[in-house]
Amino acid sequence: MSNMGRIRSLAGTVIRADRDKPVSNFEVARVGNERLLGEVIRIDGTEVDIQVYEEIDGVHVGEPVEFTGELLGIDLGPGLLGSVLDGIGRPLLGSFPEDSVSCFLKRGFFSRSLDTKKKWVFTPIRACGDPVLQGDVIGSVIEGEGFRHLILVPPGSGPSRVREISPGDRKFSVDDTVCLLENGQKISLCQRWYVRTPRPCAEKLSFSEPLITGQRVLDTLFPVALGGAAVVPGGFGTGKTVTQQSLAKWCNAEVVVYIGCGERGNEMTEVLEEFPHIRDPHTGRPLMERMVLIANTSNMPVAAREASIYLGMTIAEYFRDMGLDVALMADSTSRWAEALREISGRLGEMPGEEGYPAYLGSRLAQYYERAGRVMALGEPRRKGSITIFNAVSPGGGDFSEPVTQASLRLSGAFWALDKRLAESRHFPSINWKQSYSLYERALEPYFMQNLGEKWRDGVSFLRELLDRETELLSLVQIVGRDALSEQDKWDLEMGEIIRITFLQQNAFDPLDAFNSLERQMQFAGTLKDLHELVTKEIEKGVLYQQIQSLGLLRRVLSLRGTSPEELQERSSAWFDDLIRSLSGLEGS
């Protein structure tokens, strides 16, 4: 018997209804004659408030409400990779029911997130009689070009043994049973999970290696740990979206989940149009083959952003549980926080700072806590991770506002985008004075082991010179450039060279868009050698003016535009040439 109720009143997309039987918090309700999807967000005696995640025009008082007894969930299984879902998990693009092949789904339209007709070849790794526990791998299916999608005993299942399991080479749709356990549990290729509940793991692991972004300023100066979290705050037009897209494209995560969380409508369209055409630069295959895109379309109420965040996180956890490294990005946290503010306002809750609900911080914390490096449940043992990159778009670029502040308390890397840098076309517009990473200490052993002493030398050289430049620039404001010593004048130029050649990186130039750690260090080393060579000449009496005539900035830039293969041989010729030019200068 279903649990029914009637709509009593409406306030925007929050409706109040009565109910026949008890309901639980966050229970999914189908609202009105069109059966729009909503979640119970408050229980008040025999009445409940329901947040509806679809447009609610034309729904009237007195229409029925059905309480489903379920929480908001998603089907996880083969076919998820490459899909584009809306904020409540309905596929937006692809070979699904004809009338839904569009960015705008019909209201009340219900669809599973997976294609239930498609067949997959299941290959077992367990046999009849094998004991199994939750999280154990029982087999796999191959998706796309060789992605091995592991089929796991769903978390929460009790210990049992395999009674029947399909032999290899048979095809199944996601709902077919491939394995029957002795306790009667049927395991199919797909498992349903309530998105607000974190998926369990065996153990949380400490940070020990970086997630490599290929962005020089990030990996070298402000690295993020695999399983860590970075916030990317920036005002309007500072490059949040381009930065996240570069990360999605280049970072070394195996799976990328991208949540387009209510940024400008046309920006979402851009994302939907662009991502399907982007090629994975590491493999040449379409990037979407290892991505899941979640898009809150503009015809959905802002509250759906709240659902999309949990949806994205659950999908990320599912791939983490297979032992993969997942990057999760949301653009932007601010729009999610605004949704919380709106829902809270409709409920008449006491507003906190800037009208956000008092629980803003704890909601964000619940999200960030689901990131991390873990040992997954079950056998064979698998390590997986979720690394978060969340954009924040503070109004007016003011980082002291509550969403930026709450985000920075919860994350270990802060990549501050700067309007002035963006205006002067310094991209990525990451402000090297404001940004920081708390992961450096944890990652030091990794860097030392993989890159050696030159990593420490390179990083401290870059930092010192950038600091020195800042200091000298403020000095110049007081005394003028001419009053500086020859060495100071050169340090100032060196700072500029570092900024332009090392910190700036062109996301649209294929040779520059990605640098391996090795290459980043090689580059830093080149800059350091250059600095030492010139400093020696200055000590011998060469004037800065003479150095200036050598066009060093241009020379360094020419090195940046070389492919990694060319760089090795070019850089020694480059140095010979430099030394020749320097020795041609006469000390005064």
Residues that bind ligand ATP (CB under 6 A): 234, 236-242, 263-264, 267, 393, 427-428, 506-508
**Contacts made by residues 505-510, CB under 8 angstroms, sequence distance 24+:** 505/215, 505/216, 505/217, 505/427, 505/428, 506/427, 507/242, 507/243, 507/245, 507/246, 507/427, 507/428, 509/561, 510/281
Stretch that binds Mg ion, among 163-171, 263-271, 554-562, 565-573 (CB under 5 A): 263-271
Q: Which is closer to Mg ion, CB of 93 or CB of 268?
A: 268
Torsional sign, CA 264, 265, 266, 267: positive
Residues β-bridged to residue 502: none
205 binds, among ligand ATP, Mg ion, none (CB under 5 to 8 A by kind): none
Q: Which is closer to Mg ion, CB of 43 or CB of 242?
A: 242
Q: Which is closer to ligand ATP, CB of 478 or CB of 508?
A: 508
Q: Which residues contact 556 (CB under 8 A, 6 or more apart)?
A: 497, 501, 526, 527, 530
Stretch that binds Mg ion, among 86-94, 226-234, 241-249, 251-259 (CB under 5 A): 241-249
User: Is 240 a binder of Mg ion (CB under 5 A)?
Assistant: yes
Bin 397: left if φ > 0, else alpha if -120 < ψ < 50, else beta. left
Tokens of 108: 């009340």
Q: Binders of Mg ion: how many residues, by CB under 5 A?
A: 3
180 binds, among Mg ion, ligand ATP, none (CB under 5 to 8 A by kind): none
Q: Which residues contact 477 (CB under 8 A, 6 or more apart)?
A: none
User: CB of 394: closest distance to Mg ion in angstroms?
Assistant: 13
Q: Which is closer to ligand ATP, CB of 228 or CB of 239?
A: 239
Radius of gyration in angstroms for the set of CA atoms belonging to the chain, rounded to a whole number: 28
238 binds, among Mg ion, ligand ATP, none (CB under 5 to 8 A by kind): ligand ATP
Residues β-bridged to residue 558: none
User: CB of 263: closest distance to Mg ion in angstroms?
Assistant: 5
Query: How many other C-beta atoms lie within 10 A of the C-beta of residue 14?
Result: 22
125 binds, among ligand ATP, Mg ion, none (CB under 5 to 8 A by kind): none
User: CB of 329: closest distance to ligand ATP in angstroms?
Assistant: 12
Q: Which is closer to ligand ATP, CB of 216 or CB of 341?
A: 216
Which residue, among 401, 397, 391, has the nearest Cα to 236 in the 3D structure? Answer: 397
Name the closest residue to Mg ion (Cβ): 241
- 201 neighbors 85 (Cβ within 8 angstroms): no
User: CB of 85: closest distance to ligand ATP in angstroms?
Assistant: 21
Stretch that binds Mg ion, among 103-111, 239-247, 502-510, 542-550 (CB under 5 A): 239-247
3-class SS of residue 499: helix
Q: Which is closer to ligand ATP, CB of 83 or CB of 334?
A: 334
User: CB of 389: closest distance to ligand ATP in angstroms?
Assistant: 13
Annotate 475-491 with DSSP letters as a single string. HHHHH-GGGS-HHHHHH
432 binds, among Mg ion, ligand ATP, none (CB under 5 to 8 A by kind): none
User: CB of 420: closest distance to ligand ATP in angstroms?
Assistant: 13
Q: Which is closer to ligand ATP, CB of 240 or CB of 373?
A: 240
User: CB of 505: closest distance to ligand ATP in angstroms?
Assistant: 6
- 247 neighbors 508 (Cβ within 8 angstroms): no
Torsional sign, CA 477, 479, 482, 484: negative
Stretch that binds Mg ion, among 194-202, 206-214, 233-241, 425-433 (CB under 5 A): 233-241
H or E element at residue 257: strand 255-260
User: Is 335 a binder of Mg ion (CB under 5 A)?
Assistant: no
User: CB of 263: closest distance to ligand ATP in angstroms?
Assistant: 5
Q: Which is closer to ligand ATP, CB of 476 or CB of 507?
A: 507
39 binds, among Mg ion, ligand ATP, none (CB under 5 to 8 A by kind): none
506 binds, among Mg ion, ligand ATP, none (CB under 5 to 8 A by kind): ligand ATP
User: Alpha-carbon distance 522 to 499, whole Å?
Assistant: 16
Q: Which is closer to ligand ATP, CB of 376 or CB of 422?
A: 422
3-class SS of residue 188: strand
User: CB of 236: closest distance to Mg ion in angstroms?
Assistant: 8
Q: Which residues contact 277 (CB under 8 A, 6 or more apart)?
A: 286
Stretch that binds Mg ion, among 232-240, 287-295, 312-320, 434-442 (CB under 5 A): 232-240
236 binds, among Mg ion, ligand ATP, none (CB under 5 to 8 A by kind): ligand ATP
User: CB of 441: closest distance to ligand ATP in angstroms?
Assistant: 28
User: CB of 513: closest distance to ligand ATP in angstroms?
Assistant: 8
User: CB of 529: closest distance to ligand ATP in angstroms?
Assistant: 27
- Is residue 380 reached through a cis peptide bond, with omega within 30 degrees of 0 on the bond before it? yes
Q: How many CA atoms lie within 13 A of 198 on its CB side?
A: 14
Residues β-bridged to residue 162: 181
User: Alpha-carbon distance 331 to 321, whole Å?
Assistant: 24
Among 51, 173, 241, 515, binds Mg ion (CB under 5 A): 241
Q: How many CA atoms lie within 13 A of 438 on its CB side?
A: 11
Tokens of 114: 């997976």
User: CB of 374: closest distance to Mg ion in angstroms?
Assistant: 30
Stretch that binds Mg ion, among 260-268, 293-301, 504-512, 540-548 (CB under 5 A): 260-268
Q: Which is closer to Mg ion, CB of 27 or CB of 263?
A: 263
User: Alpha-carbon distance 354 to 396, whole Å?
Assistant: 14
User: Is 560 a binder of Mg ion (CB under 5 A)?
Assistant: no
Binding site for Mg ion (CB under 5 A): 240-241, 263
